[in-house]
Amino acid sequence: MTPKQVLDMASEKGLKVVDLRFLDFLGLWQHFTVPLSELNEASFEDGFGFDGSSIRGWQPIHASDMLVVPDSTTAQIDPFFAEQTLVLIGDIVDPITREPYSRDPRNIAKKAEAYLKGTGIGDTAYFGPEAEFFIFDDVRYDNTSNACFYELDSVEGIWNTGRDECPNLGYKPRHKEGYFPVPPMDKFQDLRTEMLLTLAQVGIEVECQHHEVATAGQAEIDMRFKPLVQMGDQLMWFKYVLKNVAHRHGHTVTFMPKPLFGDNGTGMHIHISIWKDDRPTFAGDKYAGLSESGMYAMGGILKHCRAICAFSNPSTNSYKRLVPGFEAPVNLAYSSRNRSAAIRIPMYSDSPKAKRIEFRTPDPSCNGYLAFSAMLMAVIDGIENKIDPGEPLDKNIYNLPPEELAIIPSAPGSLDEALAALKEDHEFLLKGNVFTQDVIDKWIEYKTEKEINMVRLRPHPYEFFLYFDV
């Protein structure tokens, strides 16, 4: 919609308030609300002021003034607020220079799309994330100088088979057996359907919803692929809708990659394709029906995967999921059907329009705008430099002899390793000024100081089991 169409729609619906939303550096949606009377056509150029020094990873206090400029094409009606509210996603602008803010993730995603077009490789990069999540009934945690604990609970948790639930009716998915029996074993069918229908209210096309492999309410809802920036917007709506639907029913949703010990973690497999002149450029006569550029695209992701993980798997908890030997897609190889490889080429359809690559390593704790942009830049680098992805890995990795397994490169084993890889390998991200050196440096600094060091300094509860009696 144009600004005028947005204002006309708001008037027709009798709306009185507008919620302005944008993303912080790490990936959390921020918002503030203004009366509709404050919104006019000039607002879509002039923007609204706010304090950028209070946003994680952004401005110092002596240069705190920032503007959020609403994007009229993002207009939606919030499905949860008591007062019917217009929602507009905005871009961040420096109030003095009027330049887009370099640390605004949405700006980085816009620059990535523009860079793709400038290369001539394609017109549109499509992304289709399969974001998994857990639905819990209770979550408690605390960290003090002399104590640390967390405790999660779910009516579906296999650990509750002996709990007095007045009465306990059983039907709790065993570890790794949640994919995907019908109710009453699956206790969240209706909740996931409500999530699906609410996503549709805000314009998000959903392909399916289902229970996932783990016990305790692990689930997945798949969105239909969209262009990069649009999918970045949709991923924010996706997390917002799922959390709020769960909350109004007394549940909580988490996209934390590894909340449970001894069961599957939460990933976000991402389907990627590039189109040019309404033609899928990844379809061809090479391996698994890929084109030469599709093969080179995989080569780019595999070459830069360890650096990409700093954005696609950006938490210390991410690497509790990415552990070799435990079914996680840590092996930096590709295959048409092998799900333990970092890249899979889906074989559900022979249609050229369906030809894409599936990057399986990422998880949904990521900032979608940054992660998708990093992947696209790796794909472009692979195509431009004709990076050979090597031979496919079509064998069962768990049956490989140690000497053969040792030559297959692996994803990072920790956030430290991923950030070190990013520090050494980020020239491909700087092309076209998509990512800036400031963004790379600030990301590494923030993640190291605020997350890695904070986890590193604290005793782990299991260490008491291992070492208290030494």
Chain CA centroid to CA 67, Å: 25
In the residue annotation, 269 being an active-site residue is answered as yes
In the residue annotation, 51 being an active-site residue is answered as yes
Distance between CA atoms of residues 95 and 101, nearest Å: 10
* Of 358, 363, 381, 426, catalytic: 358
Distance between CA atoms of residues 181 and 41, nearest Å: 52
Chain CA centroid to CA 401, Å: 34
* Of 186, 220, 233, 263, catalytic: 220
* Of 24, 104, 113, 130, catalytic: 130
* Of 91, 186, 212, 363, catalytic: 212
CB 396: neighbour CB atoms within 10 A? 9
In the residue annotation, 339 being an active-site residue is answered as yes
* Of 78, 113, 132, 194, catalytic: 132
Residue pair 257/313 in contact by the 8 Å Cβ criterion: yes
* Of 51, 65, 83, 207, catalytic: 51
* Of 211, 271, 344, 360, catalytic: 360
Phi, psi of 274 (to 5 degrees): -120, 135
In the residue annotation, 327 being an active-site residue is answered as no
* Of 269, 304, 356, 426, catalytic: 269
* Of 174, 339, 458, 460, catalytic: 339
In the residue annotation, 220 being an active-site residue is answered as yes
Residue 258's nearest CA partner among 223, 222, 221, 216 is: 216
**Which residues are catalytic, by number?**
51, 130, 132, 212, 220, 269, 339, 358, 360
